[in-house]
Structure 1
Amino acid sequence: MKLFMKILKKLIIVIIATNIIIPHFIEISFCQKMEDNIKNEINEWIEWAKIAWRYFEPGVGVDKNTGLHRASLYWNAFTDWDLGGYLITILYAEKIGLINREGEWGADKRIEKVLDFLERRELKEDGIAYSGYDMNGKPLYSTSITNPSDSGRLLIALYMIKKYKPYFSSRIDNIVYKKHNYKKIAMDNEAWKTTSDFYAYYVAHGFKFFNFDNYTPVANALNEINSMRNREKVDVYGIKLPKADITMEPLLHIIFELEPNEEIMNYAYKIYLAQELRYKNTKRYTAWSEGNAPRPAHAPVRAPWYVYEWIVLRDGRTWIITPKQIIPVTYTKAAIGLHALFNTNYTKNMVDYIIKNFELLDLDLENGFFEGINDAGEIVLERIDKTNTLIIEAAYYAIKKLTEKTHKLNIQNIKKIYTLGEGIEIKLNFSGIELPYPHNHIWEIGIYNGSEKIIEEKHITEKHNVTLAYNIENGGLYNLSCKMAIDYNGCNSSIYNSTNILIYSAQIFSIKAPLIANINESIKIVANIKYDLYTKDLGNIGIPLQLKIINRENNQTLVINQTKPLNGSGIIPINFIIRAPSIEKNLGLAIESYYKINDEWVHDKTGWRKEFDIKIVKQNITQTEIYILKYETIKETKTIIKTITEKFETIKTIIKTSEYLNNLIIILIGLLIIAIISILSAITMIKGRKIYRV
């Protein structure tokens, strides 16, 4: 039987250990595997971004002399839409770490070359830009002018540069407000008829950022999302979408460049689902946008084969391509953009399908990504700026989102309760996958008492952790709020954490006791205690105070009083009665205040103890005698002050009339000694005549 019990005990221990240790190791293994998968995904996004950036290298898509880019390897020119896209690409390439800020072809130099062009480019007489310029900065067409869409995208790019690189702000403001006449475009109703719905909503933000949103066409465009909300819906493979001009291009720009609200993200998800359902019904990958289509063999190189693929049109038609019907194209930029947004099996398989087809045909990606693949399996061999711009934007969005999944901000070494005067040491620790490019950690710490800000600090460091120490002067319930932002070129990825701190306090606010008492007299003493004892968060009904009166001569406790449990803050009077000694003496006393934490009586670091004296005498002192003593003290004090004043007046007279410096110095020293003696006499007399302490 004993052997059986021993075996049973060991078996129970093994079972308990198994249930505790094995799940712990499984959890660690799962977390490690998840982190490894995320790292692999990040590396993949970085590789795609590097391929896309090849298009913008000098000598490929960017002119080595002017620093201006071209919209396509087949078209050595650009529109303002394209130019805005190039500026945004520079910003995102720097954020990812594809280029540095400094250097001949660093981000700032590239931006400066574009700003130089915008400051000096030729415009129409009314300050409106031409529709296109070549890589030397010359207008392409003498009669064709730009439009709200192209202008709006350029304005968005200029605003983003102001935001992330404010040292360019004055130049940009001059370009927008003085060089160009964007006001005329903002108020041109006819011009705004060339854009609609998500496109209009997107480009209108550029005008809004520079305060042109008070013009009706811009205001109407900014209201497009609200307008779509109330429109009739169209059924697209079971997904209800509004009657609107819908394609992926403007939605991706809104999400990657602006600050989309929940409604925009819901639209994006529904539009994504409609495309996935088309794939399930047709077995054709679907990522519709705008871009180039395969050119027929007989078509000239410059033939207009740029198309727009509409999932829905305003008239309710679905899956329409304009300006000419072609075999639908699955665009590389739209597929990768959807993958950045939703990261589903469908988006992953679609991106793999496109890239593997490029590899199978041994296509060279040294100059960036190709446009895409049509439903017949043909590769669209064009390479353009818009495709590679969106891929770089998508890469940054995805990298940021993936790393944030693993980020944690831990508040360590913090206690729930502190005593007043006790130093508070806080350790903040960041954990998770780091962004794959140089960055700082910006630590922001705030300590609040309700809405009142007690402490606010900001620390910028490369370290993953900081240790901070504080000493708060008053008791109470405080909230410690921490924010850690991973900062790279003004683009923040932030995480938050907060906790409550209780600082208990029981301070002796005042003591009322007589200065003189008769021998064997009952002496009443009142101690007013200012307390801060918040206990609701701890589930307690309250905390009692304990006060002691101590005889300082022998450190003996004369009396102990304890209050009922307290919760909150306030001032409470506590009464004591002690018996005076039977002999004349100076009775030295002290009052000490305590409160209970975890069944222990503790006290503040300061303000918890006050000492005072009571003179014990034989004779009785009547109230009338007290008043006489008070009167005489005040009278004699006034006399001393008057004497001191007269002495100083004498000093002034002597200074004015004295002829010899030596005599003056001797007189001044003598009068100063008289003044000091008089002041000390006054203080001594006043102290000797005090009767009550309050």
Structure 2
Amino acid sequence: MMFDNVIKARSHIAFVLGLCIAAAIAYSAETGISKTLHIGQKTILIETSDAQTVLANPSVINAKDLQQAKIAWRYFERNTQDTGLVNAADNFPSTTIWDQASYLLGLIAAQKIGIVSDVEFDMRMASALTSLRALPLFDSRLPNKVYETRFLTMTNYKNDPVLRGVGWSALDVARMIVPLTTIAQHYPHHAKEALEILQAWDFSKMINDGTLYGARVTDDDATEFVQEGRLGYEEYAARAISLLGLDALRAAKFDDYLRFEKVSQQMIAVDSRSFAEFDAHNYVVSEPYILTALEFGFDSESRELAHRIYVAQENRYKNAGILTAVSEDNIDQEPYFLYNTVFANGVAWNTLAENGDQFQHLRTVSTKAAIGWNVLYDTQYTNALVKHVERTKNAEIGWYSGVYESDGTVNKIATANTNAIILQSIYYKEFGPLITQGFMKRGAS
């Protein structure tokens, strides 16, 4: 789903192209391609745990929070192109729609918490929206999966221009709906431009009978529509799409392809669609649940499933003494992109590439997951996680993606998504979920 690689100098271009290819593979896996999709039946009940983890109460942003936010914002200061778009990874001029959505959400958070002035906010927002409106669309319908940030051209994952493009991601487009609808509703100076972008996009092939579909180009240059999304990300995307009044009801259901697995003494939810039948791995990671909370606020089901995933990670620490905060992340060595999971392919705490190869020795503690869980729960364990990832901050570059579990060294890749989620997390700490903050009170229950 996310195209997050890193380059620090032009001399490393070959290295970065390798990162791009790895991210492209991981990206297509995360969306999940289905050859034959059968509508699931509600057979699994999501029961509320007796001791569900309590959400943290709102608290005023303090000096440390502001310092963390400023470091995250530094990433965007150094990676914004003249077009107004932001590199998905440090100093490499390529991006996805997911990453641009992350940037807009990070910009909204940065302005709200006071590290970006109103003048800079308006300038940056106007520039980004103008370029988003000008992007060429795949098959004249929806944004391509990848763009060159300097020239706004459609590219492949090597950042080579591709006139037609390579397809669209329903999950990426759905994420962009979140900032665009927020801008349309709350920022009058930019509302017209945000609405024009949404109105220019044709969602008719992306949603079919409540289910999400991406598009890709086949070997014979035809367009193939493929079901997209697995448990966690699929429901997050459906909530975003519902902001437009579009029907993503089937995608929004947690219980249609659901089963439970015991991991570290905790029953966690996993997607029941098998790799053998649907040609897509089912990764259980932290990020979709954290994003759901930061942007929409939990409903009863997502809150319960997030609690279970969090507790499994905390239990692993209690049982083995290993600090654990797992999500998908880029890494600074081959294979360059890994899914650090609670559960995948029948294996607990599996760390794997898209092709299924395991890389357990390269598991990382994810910076964005550690900080995200901490603002949601603020427990002794999440405090320890934040302390552990403090070493990933760099005042000149932003926050790196994480810390290697095996030896504690920093995974030195900085991305737009990691730094945007940190800004969103700090925003949430005081103001609550982006979409629902004006209508719901947050705190312990």
The TM-score with structure 1 as length reference comes to 0.47
Q: Match for 1:50 among 62, 70, 73?
A: 70
Q: Is the 8 A contact 1:161 1:168 kept in 2?
A: yes
Match for residue 92 of structure 2? 75
Match for residue 186 of structure 1? 207
| Alpha-carbon distance in 1 for matches of 2:440, 2:134 | 40
| Alpha-carbon distance in 2 for matches of 1:78, 1:369 | 18
Q: 1:489 to 1:47 in 2, by over 3 A?
A: farther
Match for residue 393 of structure 1? 424
Match for residue 245 of structure 2? 211
* Residue 329 (structure 2) pairs with residue 308 (structure 1): no
| Alpha-carbon distance in 2 for matches of 1:180, 1:489 | 22
Q: 1:69 to 1:232 in 2, by over 3 A?
A: closer
Deviates more, 1:83-92 or 1:261-270: 261-270
How far residue 75 of structure 1 moved from its aligned partner, in angstroms, is 2.6
How far residue 74 of structure 1 moved from its aligned partner, in angstroms, is 4.7
| Alpha-carbon distance in 2 for matches of 1:364, 1:43 | 17
* Residue 270 (structure 2) pairs with residue 235 (structure 1): no
* Residue 383 (structure 2) pairs with residue 352 (structure 1): no
| Alpha-carbon distance in 2 for matches of 1:287, 1:491 | 26
| Alpha-carbon distance in 1 for matches of 2:91, 2:123 | 26
How far residue 312 of structure 1 moved from its aligned partner, in angstroms, is 2.4
Q: Is the 8 A contact 1:354 1:372 kept in 2?
A: yes
* Residue 311 (structure 2) pairs with residue 273 (structure 1): yes
How far residue 374 of structure 1 moved from its aligned partner, in angstroms, is 1.0
Match for residue 134 of structure 1? 148
SS at match of 2:87: coil
Match for residue 545 of structure 1? none
2:142 maps to amino acid: I
Match for residue 186 of structure 2? 164
Please list every run of 5 or more consecutive structure 1 residues that lacks an aligned counterpart in the other structure.
1-37, 297-303, 402-487, 497-694
Match for residue 414 of structure 1? none
Q: Match for 1:291 among 299, 324, 329?
A: 329
Match for residue 624 of structure 1? none
Q: Is the 8 A contact 1:42 1:399 kept in 2?
A: no
Q: Is the 8 A contact 1:197 1:221 kept in 2?
A: no
SS at match of 1:226: coil
How far residue 237 of structure 1 moved from its aligned partner, in angstroms, is 1.3
Q: 1:328 to 1:152 in 2, by over 3 A?
A: same
1:80 maps to amino acid: I
SS at match of 1:369: strand
SS at match of 2:245: coil
| Alpha-carbon distance in 1 for matches of 2:394, 2:292 | 31
Match for residue 365 of structure 1? 395
Match for residue 412 of structure 1? none
Q: Is the 8 A contact 1:333 1:390 kept in 2?
A: yes
How far residue 398 of structure 1 moved from its aligned partner, in angstroms, is 1.6
Match for residue 437 of structure 1? none
Match for residue 134 of structure 2? 120
SS at match of 1:182: coil
Q: Match for 2:289 among 222, 246, 251?
A: 251
Q: Match for 1:98 among 88, 91, 115?
A: 115
Deviates more, 1:365-374 or 1:262-271: 262-271
CA RMSD of aligned residues (A): 2.6
The TM-score with structure 2 as length reference comes to 0.72
How far residue 310 of structure 1 moved from its aligned partner, in angstroms, is 2.1
How far residue 186 of structure 1 moved from its aligned partner, in angstroms, is 2.0
| Alpha-carbon distance in 2 for matches of 1:490, 1:321 | 34
How far residue 222 of structure 1 moved from its aligned partner, in angstroms, is 1.1
Q: 1:209 to 1:82 in 2, by over 3 A?
A: same
Structure with greater Cα Rg: 1
How far residue 280 of structure 1 moved from its aligned partner, in angstroms, is 1.9
* Residue 415 (structure 2) pairs with residue 381 (structure 1): no
| Alpha-carbon distance in 2 for matches of 1:371, 1:72 | 11
| Alpha-carbon distance in 2 for matches of 1:272, 1:321 | 17
| Alpha-carbon distance in 2 for matches of 1:124, 1:148 | 12
CA deviation map 1:421-451 (0-9, x unaligned): xxxxxxxxxxxxxxxxxxxxxxxxxxxxxxx
Matches within 5 A, 1:601-680: none
Match for residue 229 of structure 2? 195
| Alpha-carbon distance in 2 for matches of 1:206, 1:267 | 19
Q: Is the 8 A contact 1:156 1:205 kept in 2?
A: no
Q: Is the 8 A contact 2:84 2:131 kept in 1?
A: no
| Alpha-carbon distance in 2 for matches of 1:84, 1:370 | 19
How far residue 240 of structure 1 moved from its aligned partner, in angstroms, is 1.1
Q: Is the 8 A contact 1:45 1:399 kept in 2?
A: no
Q: 1:184 to 1:90 in 2, by over 3 A?
A: same
| Alpha-carbon distance in 1 for matches of 2:317, 2:121 | 40
CA deviation map 1:520-561 (0-9, x unaligned): xxxxxxxxxxxxxxxxxxxxxxxxxxxxxxxxxxxxxxxxxx
* Residue 203 (structure 2) pairs with residue 176 (structure 1): no
Q: 1:494 to 1:186 in 2, by over 3 A?
A: closer
2:286 maps to amino acid: M
| Alpha-carbon distance in 2 for matches of 1:490, 1:320 | 34
| Alpha-carbon distance in 2 for matches of 1:180, 1:262 | 32
Q: 1:166 to 1:192 in 2, by over 3 A?
A: farther
Deviates more, 1:236-245 or 1:189-198: 189-198
Q: Match for 1:61 among 61, 79, 82?
A: 79
Q: Is the 8 A contact 1:115 1:172 kept in 2?
A: yes
Please list every run of 5 or more consecutive structure 2 residues that lacks an aligned counterpart in the other structure.
1-58, 157-161, 215-224, 272-282
| Alpha-carbon distance in 1 for matches of 2:64, 2:363 | 27
| Alpha-carbon distance in 2 for matches of 1:156, 1:186 | 17
Match for residue 641 of structure 1? none
2:259 maps to amino acid: E
Matches within 5 A, 1:572-611: none
| Alpha-carbon distance in 1 for matches of 2:98, 2:177 | 9
| Alpha-carbon distance in 1 for matches of 2:352, 2:140 | 32
Matches within 5 A, 1:511-590: none
Q: 1:182 to 1:337 in 2, by over 3 A?
A: same
The list of structure 1 runs, each at least 4 consecutive aligned residues, that deviate by more than 4 angstroms after superposition, is 188-192, 488-496
2:153 maps to amino acid: K
Q: 1:378 to 1:163 in 2, by over 3 A?
A: same
1:241 maps to amino acid: I
| Alpha-carbon distance in 1 for matches of 2:177, 2:246 | 11
1:305 maps to amino acid: Y
How far residue 145 of structure 1 moved from its aligned partner, in angstroms, is 1.6
| Alpha-carbon distance in 2 for matches of 1:233, 1:336 | 26
SS at match of 1:183: coil
SS at match of 2:422: helix
1:67 maps to amino acid: G
How far residue 493 of structure 1 moved from its aligned partner, in angstroms, is 8.7
| Alpha-carbon distance in 2 for matches of 1:364, 1:236 | 34
1:272 maps to amino acid: Y
Match for residue 325 of structure 1? 358
| Alpha-carbon distance in 1 for matches of 2:91, 2:76 | 14
Q: Is the 8 A contact 1:164 1:489 kept in 2?
A: no
| Alpha-carbon distance in 2 for matches of 1:195, 1:345 | 33
| Alpha-carbon distance in 2 for matches of 1:207, 1:489 | 13
Match for residue 377 of structure 2? 342
SS at match of 2:340: strand
| Alpha-carbon distance in 2 for matches of 1:131, 1:400 | 32
SS at match of 1:66: coil
Q: How many residues are treated as equivalent by the alignment?
A: 345
| Alpha-carbon distance in 1 for matches of 2:440, 2:168 | 39
